[in-house]
């Protein structure tokens, strides 16, 4: 069984002190950073874009997992590739026929991810699974951190783990904390996005370790 990957979501970090936040996360030994990109259109909230990611890229060697909660990601794809993202995840609700775009991401040497919202059935992404390096199950409605985990994600994780190849990374995002992470690991998730449960903690390292341990059981 592979070790769980805990990915802090850079949505609840202190944007006034990104350098310090990155240092703290590095010393918390997290394996990557999850970057939540929102456009105020696909989701009712706005976060940051390629300019911030490009600057962040200069601060750390940690891999960047960009989660594009944006409409028409094709239009901005090159900017996220150039900004230094190691994986780029698009939403099936924004790109109903994602195969060509996933392939474009892969052709750029970047891992390609596909996300689905709580209301979207697994069947919608089934035809594209072979083009995915990562599949992201949303366990909250995207747009905001700090929401309650939706247990309906567990059935989706189970279903997807039986459909994807062993090389495809199954990921879960939303409401992941010490009390919910274990069930998602049981259901097959390998990459766990955590916002509040890390950034609301006074000690990121302790919080990340607690999540890692709870996912390993």
- The reply to whether 113 sits in an annotated binding site is no
Q: Is 26 exposed, middle or buried (0-12, 13-18, 19+ CB in 10 A)?
A: middle
Residue 213 bears catalytic tag: no
Q: Does 67 bind ligand DX5 (CB under 6 A)?
A: yes
CB of 32 to Zn ion, least distance (A): 12
CB of 38 to ligand DX5, least distance (A): 7
- Record the tokens describing residue 36, joined without a space: 């939540």
- The reply to whether 36 sits in an annotated binding site is yes
* Catalytically annotated residue among 39, 65, 133, 173: 173
Q: How far apart are CA 47 and CA 165, in angstroms?
A: 32
Exposure string of 78-97, with b = 16+ CB inside 10 Å and e = fewer, is eebbebbbebbbbbbbbbee
Q: Does 142 bind ligand DX5 (CB under 6 A)?
A: yes
CB of 34 to Zn ion, least distance (A): 6
Q: Does 65 bind Zn ion (CB under 5 A)?
A: no
Q: Does 173 bind Zn ion (CB under 5 A)?
A: yes
Q: How far apart are CA 173 and CA 7, in angstroms?
A: 9
CB contact set of 17 (below 8 Å; sequence gap of 6+): none
Q: Give the nearer residue to Zn ion in terms of CB position, either 130 or 184.
A: 184
- Give SS3 for 34: strand
Residues that bind ligand DX5 (CB under 6 A): 9, 11-12, 34, 36, 67, 140, 142-147, 173-176, 193-197
Q: Write out the catalytic residue numbers.
A: 36, 173
Detail the residues annotated as belonging to a binding site for a divalent metal cation. Answer: 34, 36, 67, 173
């Amino acid at each position: 069984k592979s070790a769980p990957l805990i990915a802090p979501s850079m949505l609840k970090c202190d944007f006034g002190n990104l350098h310090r936040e990155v240092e703290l996360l590095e010393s918390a030994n997290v394996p990557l950073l999850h970057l939540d990109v929102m456009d105020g259109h696909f989701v009712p909230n706005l976060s940051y874009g390629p300019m911030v990611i490009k600057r962040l890229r200069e601060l750390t060697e940690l891999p960047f997992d960009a989660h594009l909660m944006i409409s028409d990601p094709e239009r901005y794809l090159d900017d996220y590739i150039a900004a230094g993202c190691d994986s780029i995840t698009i939403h099936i609700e924004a790109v109903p026929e994602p195969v060509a775009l996933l392939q474009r991401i892969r052709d750029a040497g970047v891992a390609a991810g596909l996300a689905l919202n709580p209301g979207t059935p697994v069947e919608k992404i089934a035809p594209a699974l072979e083009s995915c390096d990562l599949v992201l199950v949303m366990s909250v409605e995207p747009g905001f951190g700090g929401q309650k985990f939706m247990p309906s994600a567990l059935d989706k994780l189970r279903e997807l783990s039986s459909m994807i190849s062993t090389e495809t990374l199954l990921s879960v995002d939303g409401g992941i904390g010490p009390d919910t992470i274990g069930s998602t690991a049981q259901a097959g998730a390998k990459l766990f996005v955590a916002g509040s449960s890390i950034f609301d903690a006074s000690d990121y390292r302790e919080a990340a370790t607690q999540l890692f341990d709870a996912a390993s059981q």
